[in-house]
Amino acid sequence: MNHYNVFSGAYWLRSPSPERDERDRRIQLRRSFDLTEVPEKAEICVTADAKYSLYVNGSFVHFGPARGFQRNWPFDRLDIAPYLRRGKNVIAALLYQFGMGNYTYIYDGDNGFLLSGKIGGEDISTGYGWKLRPAPGYICAVARGSGQYGFQEFFDFRQAQDNWFAPDYDDDSWPGNPGEFMRVAGCMPWHSFEERSIPLLTADISRVQSTVLTSRHHPAESNWQKLRHIFYSYRNEQFQWQPEYIPAADGLSLSGGITALTADFGKELVGKLIFEIDCPDEGTVLDFITRERLDGNRPDIPETVCHPSTLFGGRLILRKGRNIHELTMPWGLRYVVLWSHQTGDLKINLAIRQIRYPLDIRGKFITSDPELQKIRDISEHTQKCCAVDSYIDCPQRENAQWWGDALVQAQNTFRLSADPRLLARGIRQIAKKLTPDGLTYGMAPTAGHVCILPDYSAMWLITIWAHYFQTGDTGLYRQLLPEIDSVCNYFTRTAAANPSGLLTFDRRYWLFLDWCPDIFKDGTPTLYNLIWLWSLKKLLIVAQAAGDAPVCERLSKQLADGCHAVIRYLYDPESRMLYDGLTWKNEPVKTHSPHVAAIAILLDLLPEDHDVWLEKILLPLVRGNRQNMICPSSYFMFYIFEALTGKGYGREVINCIRNWWGEFTAAGFSTTPENFLENISGDLSFCHAWSAHPIVHFSRILLGVTQTAPAWRSVSFAPLLLPGVDISGAVPTPHGDIRVSIIWQNGRAEKKIELPPGIELDNRN
C-alpha cells in the first residue's frame, strides 16, 4: 500500500555533505514549537534513510525505521503526546547514514529524514521550520566492526555538546534555512511508503552489573588522530588481566591503579551503549571493545597481527567534567572492555538501551530438573536477542535476516508467543529480492550478492507453509504467487537440464546446506534434492488449502517425479541406504549423512527404510560424541531432532540436548552459540537463535503438545515422562494458551492438560 498522502507537505531533509562521501555520517535535526494545551494524542509519522533516533523534549522516543527497500520505504507511526508539555517543545532527531550497502541495508545513493504531523494546530512536518547540521564530534568512516554490518564509533567530546536534543539548548548558531537540503516526499528512490507491520521496538535501559577483570598495567601512548581501528589500540597495550569482581552499583572506576577493566552486563543484550563519564582532565582517551564471552581470564579478543574479522568498539576523547554519549547503532554484547591512556581517575556509568522486538512471552516451561531448565532459559533469551525489526542471525556480528535461520526462529517464536508477524514480514521482504533467474537472496534487504543460496530459496517456500500452518491463513500464498512461481521455475528448469531429472550444484551460487565441512555439496547432492522435494510437499499443502487446483496438479507431479528420480539414482536397494549424492561423473558418493536421513524421513520418502536409517545413522549420532561421523551443526540438529521426535525417539532427543547443549550452560553462556564449541572461534557468534530450538523440542516432547492441524485447531498430547521430574508450562496458540502439568507423587505421574476454546484433543494418551 502506498502511504504517499501520509507525508503530503513534508520534505526529506538531507545531509549537507558537499563531498558526498556519506559513509558513517550523522545529521542532527531540531524543530521547536509552542503549545498552549497538551493534546491527549499527538500522532506523527516518521522515517529516515538509513536510521533515526527520535527525541522529544530531551527524552528518547524511538529508534527506527524497520529495515526495508527504498521503493516501498517503511515508516513509523508514533504518539508523542506523553512527551509534550505546555509552552516550548522541541522534537529532535539524529539521522544516521551507513552510506554503503551491507547485510541489513541497500544503499541507493541518497539519505534523509522525513516527518509528518500536526500538533495543536502546529504543522511540525519536516521543511522550512526545521534546523539541521552535520553532527559534530564524530570521527566518521573509521573501520567497520564487521564486513556484514556497520562501523565502530569514535567520538570527540571536545568538539561537541551532548545536550543538542534538549529543549533548553541554544540552536541559534544552526543554519536556519534547510531549503537546499530538501526534497519533496515521494521523490526517488523513496517513491512510496509502507507502514511497519510489526510493533515498535523496546527502549528499556539495563545497567552494567559488575567488573569481572582488571588490569593494572602501564598504559601505552595514544595517537588518536591516526587510529582507524580500535584493535590496534588494544594490541599495543600490555594488559595484565586478573579476575576481580567489583559490583557496579556505584558505577565502574578506572582508579586505584586500574587502567583497564572488563565489565559484565550479566547476560547477552542487544542495544545501544550509553556512557556517562566523569573525567578530571581534558583530552583523556577512553577506548572500548564489546564482546560476547571471556576466554578464560581474558577478553575473547584474538591475538593476531592484523585486526580480526569481527570487532566492535570505539574511542571516546573526553573533555573535563561530565561526558554523556549514547552510541548510534545497536550491537549485541555481554562484556565491555574499557581502557584509558591516561592515569587520571575515571568514573563511568555504563548502561545499554535494549533495542529488540517486544515478544509477548506466553510460552512457559518450568521443570525440577535444573540442567534442562538452564538450557531452556538460555534458549529463550537467545531468541529474544535475535528478534529485532526482523529475525536476525547474530546481533554481535551480522544482524542479518538469513532465511534458513528464520524457519527455525519462527518455530521458536510460535512456542514462545504465537506471534506470526516477524515471519510474515520477512517472507514478504525475501520475495522482494530475487535474481533474474528466480532465486531469492539468502537474506533481505542486502547488498550481499554472494549470499544467494538455492537451498534457502526452497526454505523460503517452507516458511510460507509454516505461516499457513500457524495461522490457517493462505493470504501470503495468494499474494506471493508470482514470486513462488519464479522460485519453483528455477528448480524445475535446473532439474530438467539434467538427464536424471535431479538438481545439480549451480556454481554461480552458494549451496549452503549446513556448516558441516564433510557434507557433500558438489555434483548432484542428495540433501539439496531432498530439501527441494520437502519444500514442494509443504507448498502443496498450502495450495490445497487455497483451493488452487492447477498448482496442486503441477506440484503433485513434480513431487512424484522428483521422489522417483531420487530413488532411481541416489538409493542403494541392497543396503537400503541413500547415497549422499553423485559426482559430476555420476559416480555414487558412498557416505550416508544424518542430514540426508533426517530430511528423507521428514519427506516420508521410503517409509519402509526409516528404521534402517534410524538405527544405522540417526540414533548413533545422538547417542555419540560428535567425533566419529559426518556431524550436523547445532542448526541442522533441529531437523535431526524433528525426524527423531516424529518417529517416537523423544527420549533420545532430550538426552542429546542435555549432553550437547549442556556444554553451553557449563561454559557459563547466557545464549546458545552459532555452533558446537569445537567448531566456533572468537570471531563467530555466541548468540544465534538457530541453536535455540530446544524451545521447540521441550514443548513438543516434555510438555507433550504437538500441533496436528492448521491454526492449532487440534493437538495431540503425549508427554515424555522423566521419572521424578516435575514439569509444567504453557504453549501459546492463536486461541489462547494450552496449559500442561506433570507432577510426580508416590512414583506415579499425574498428567493434566487444559485447552482453550477452539482447540480439540485428537488423542487421549
pLDDT by residue (tens digit) across 7-42? 999 999 997 765 678 899 999 999 999 999 999 999
pLDDT tens-digit map of 657-715? 999 999 999 999 999 999 999 888 766 799 999 999 999 999 999 999 999 999 999 99
Nearest Cα to Cα of residue 116 among 27, 57, 31, 14? 31
pTM: 0.96
Task: Say if residues 272 and 201 touch (Cβ distance below 8 Å).
Answer: no
The CATH architecture one would assign to domain 4-138+162-195 is Sandwich (2.60)
* Position 3 pLDDT exceeds 60: no
Contacts of 18 (CB under 8 A, 6+ apart): none
Task: Say if residues 13 and 182 touch (Cβ distance below 8 Å).
Answer: yes
pLDDT tens-digit map of 175-190? 877 877 899 999 999 9
The reported pLDDT for the residue numbered 228 is 86
Give the residue extent of every domain in the chain: 4-138+162-195, 205-354, 420-591
pLDDT tens-digit map of 568-594? 999 999 999 999 999 999 999 999 999
Alpha-carbon span 712 to 715, nearest angstrom: 7
pLDDT tens-digit map of 340-392? 987 779 999 999 999 999 999 999 999 999 999 999 999 999 999 999 999 99
- Cell matching residue 198: 510489526
Alpha-carbon span 523 to 536, nearest angstrom: 22
The reported pLDDT for the residue numbered 629 is 76
The reported pLDDT for the residue numbered 486 is 98
CA angle 127, 132, 137 (to 5 degrees): 160
pLDDT tens-digit map of 297-333? 999 998 888 899 999 999 999 999 999 999 999 999 9
Cα torsion through 422, 424, 428, 429, rounded to 10: 10
- What 3-state class would DSSP assign to 303? coil
Q: Which of 112-126, 215-229, 275-289, 575-589 has the lowest mean pLDDT?
A: 215-229
Alpha-carbon span 432 to 449, nearest angstrom: 14
* Position 274 pLDDT exceeds 90: yes
Q: What's the mean pLDDT when you consider all of the chain?
A: 95
The reported pLDDT for the residue numbered 141 is 77
Burial class (CB in 10 A: 0-12, 13-18, 19+), 764: exposed
SS3 sequence of 133-172: EECCCECCCCCECECCCCECEEEEHHHCCCCCCCCCCCCC
- What 3-state class would DSSP assign to 232? helix
Q: In what order do the strands lie in the sheet with 748-754?
A: 364-367, 727-733, 736-745, 748-754
Q: Where are the alpha helices (H) located in 387-507, listed in sequence order? A: 403-416, 421-431, 454-471, 475-479, 481-496
- CATH code assigned to 205-354: 2.60.120
Question: Once rounded to an integer, what is the mean pLDDT over residues 604-624?
Answer: 97
Q: Same CATH fold, 205-354 and 4-138+162-195?
A: yes
CATH match of 420-591 with 3.90.78.10: no
The reported pLDDT for the residue numbered 19 is 62
- Cell matching residue 322: 561530565
The percentage of residues in the chain with a pLDDT greater than 90, rounded to a whole number, is: 90
